[in-house]
Amino acid sequence: MIVLPACPFPSLAWCQIAYNTDAPSQDIVVDIHEHFVKQTMRNRMKLSNVQGEMMLTLPVHRRTASSRALSDILFTEAVSPTILMRHLRTGYGAAPYFEHFEDSLIQFLETYAKPGLPLLDFNLGSLRWLEDEFGLKSVASSSNYIRHSELEHPSKDYRTKDSFTNENCTYERYPQVFEDRNGFVGGCSVLDGVFHGGTEVKNWWTKKVTRLSSRHE
C-alpha cells in the first residue's frame, strides 16, 4: 500500500506517485485520519512569483483544543478566496494557461476557502479539481488511520515531513514566467505546472521528477 498525505494542490512529486504508478488504484490512499502536522504541506502551497519561491500558508486552527485530528482543522477568519486568488493572479497572471483555469479556480476557492470550513475538504477538493480538469482516476481516501508500523513496505509511507522535499526529489526544469530573474524553482505546487504547461503538466510529473528513493527508505 502507498500512503499519501492530504495536501492542498500538492507538488508534482506527489502527483507522480498518485497518478503515474503501476500500483493498482486500490493500493494508493490519501490518509484523511491522521493527526494534523504543523509546518508541513498539509496547509501550505509552494509557488513561484516575481521574488522567487513563495510559500502560501492557509491559516487554520483546531475545532477543539483537545483534538489534533486533520478532520477537525478549520480555516480561521484570515482565509479569503479573494486574497488567495490575488496571490495566484500576481504570480501567474502572465503564465500561458492561467486564464484558461482562472474561472474554475475562482469557483473552487469560493466553495472551499472560507472561514470556518474544514482544511480537509479544501485539500480533497483540490485533488478532485485536478482529476476533473485532467481526466485522472480519483485517488481513494483511507477508511481508517494507517499506522506506519503496520505497512508491509514502510518506504511507501509518504506522510513524513521530508518525503517531497528537494533533498528527496530532483526536478527537471520547465518554463516559468520569472525564470529569467530567479532561475527555475523546483518542487512547486502542481498549480505552478498547470499554469505554465496546461495538459503538459501530466508529462512533467511523469518525466521531470526523480525520486532519490534511497534517502527516503
Task: Give the start-to-end residue ranges of the domains of the chain.
Answer: 2-216
Q: Residue 52 above 90 pLDDT?
A: yes
Q: What is the pLDDT of residue 214?
A: 44
Which residues, listed in sequence order, are joined to residue 30 by a DSSP beta bridge?
4, 141
**Distance, CA of 7 to CA of 123 (rounded, Å):** 5
Q: What is the pLDDT of residues 164-178, one digit of tens each?
A: 888 889 999 999 999
Measured CA distances, 98 to 48, 94, 196 (Å):
13, 7, 8
- Output the pTM of the full model: 0.92
Measured CA distances, 69 to 58, 64, 75, 76, 96 (Å):
17, 10, 14, 16, 39
Q: What is the pLDDT of residue 215?
A: 42
For the chain, the distance separating the N- and C-terminal CA atoms, rounded to the nearest angstrom, is 15
Q: What is the pLDDT of residue 165?
A: 86
Mean pLDDT, rounded, for 20-45? 85
Q: Residue 66 above 90 pLDDT?
A: no
The x, y and z cell numbers of residue 156, run together, are: 511507501
Contact 32, 71 (CB under 8 A): yes
Q: What is the pLDDT of residues 100-155, one digit of tens each?
A: 999 999 999 999 999 999 999 999 999 999 999 999 999 999 988 888 877 878 78
Q: Residue 63 above 80 pLDDT?
A: no
